[in-house]
Chain A
């Protein structure tokens, strides 16, 4: 079936604006992850959803960042009052749910805050 999809693929916004990034995981995958990748860097964990459990938000860098996962499927990452340092690629991944299950990544959303 289809892989993980993300939208938009690119987003340019002005400092101070809010943005919403969307992730559609692979059908049947109960776990969903958000990561941030700054230029030339590795991936930084942001948040993790597993089924109906409370999400692990330990990686969110500030309270301007939040995420939701509705109906156990689609997820939205929201960044409020964007700052230039928020510019990065935001990657979503999904897996079947167990800790050792392979995480499959989407193509990412490239966010540029001017």
Chain B
């Protein structure tokens, strides 16, 4: 069946270091991928997305990498800050089939001061 999962449930990083959050997906038909950040008590917040015709996309302090060969997605956060502490979800969509996002279970990023 389709699944999107994260390799590690928690990640602890030192403030100022770079963070890398990994995600595996199993639906080879997925062509759209998104990273969301969810802070405690809030709804998920869009961070960055990438379409399957790209393998890298950069935003402000964040970079998403897509490796379709091994069905792997990663989120890189540069110079991690305390405000980056949150749960991060990857999500995937097969836009040819429907508009439903399939979410991974989430990974908690904890930033040490």
Interface of A toward B, CB cutoff 8 Å = 4, 31, 33, 35, 40-45, 48, 50, 56, 58-59, 91, 93, 98-100, 102-108
Contact A42 B106 (CB under 8 A): yes
A99 close to B44 (CB less than 8 A):
no
**Which residue of A is nearest B43, CB measured?**
A105
Q: Decide: B95 and A56 in contact? CB cutoff 8 A.
A: no
Contact B99 A43 (CB under 8 A): no
In contact, A100 and B102 (Cβ under 8 angstroms):
no
Q: Which of B49, B102, B103 has the most CB of A within 10 A?
A: B103
By a beta-carbon cutoff of 8 Å, the part of chain B in contact with chain A is 4, 32, 34, 36, 41-46, 49, 51, 89, 91, 93, 95, 98-106
B41→A100 contact, CB < 8 A: no
Contact B98 A99 (CB under 8 A): yes
Contact B98 A42 (CB under 8 A): no
Q: How far is the CA of A59 from the CA of B100 in the complex (A)?
A: 10
Point out the residue from A91, A99, A105 that lies within 8 Å of B99, measured CB to CB: A99
Given A41, A42, A50, A100, which contacts B51 in the complex, CB threshold below 8 Å?
Answer: A100
Task: Report the separation of the CA atoms of residues A50 and B98 in the bound assembly, to the nearest whole angstrom.
Answer: 11
- Asked whether B45 lies within 8 Å of A105 as measured between CB atoms, the reply is yes
A99-B95, A104-B46 known; A48 vs B100 contact (CB < 8 Å): yes
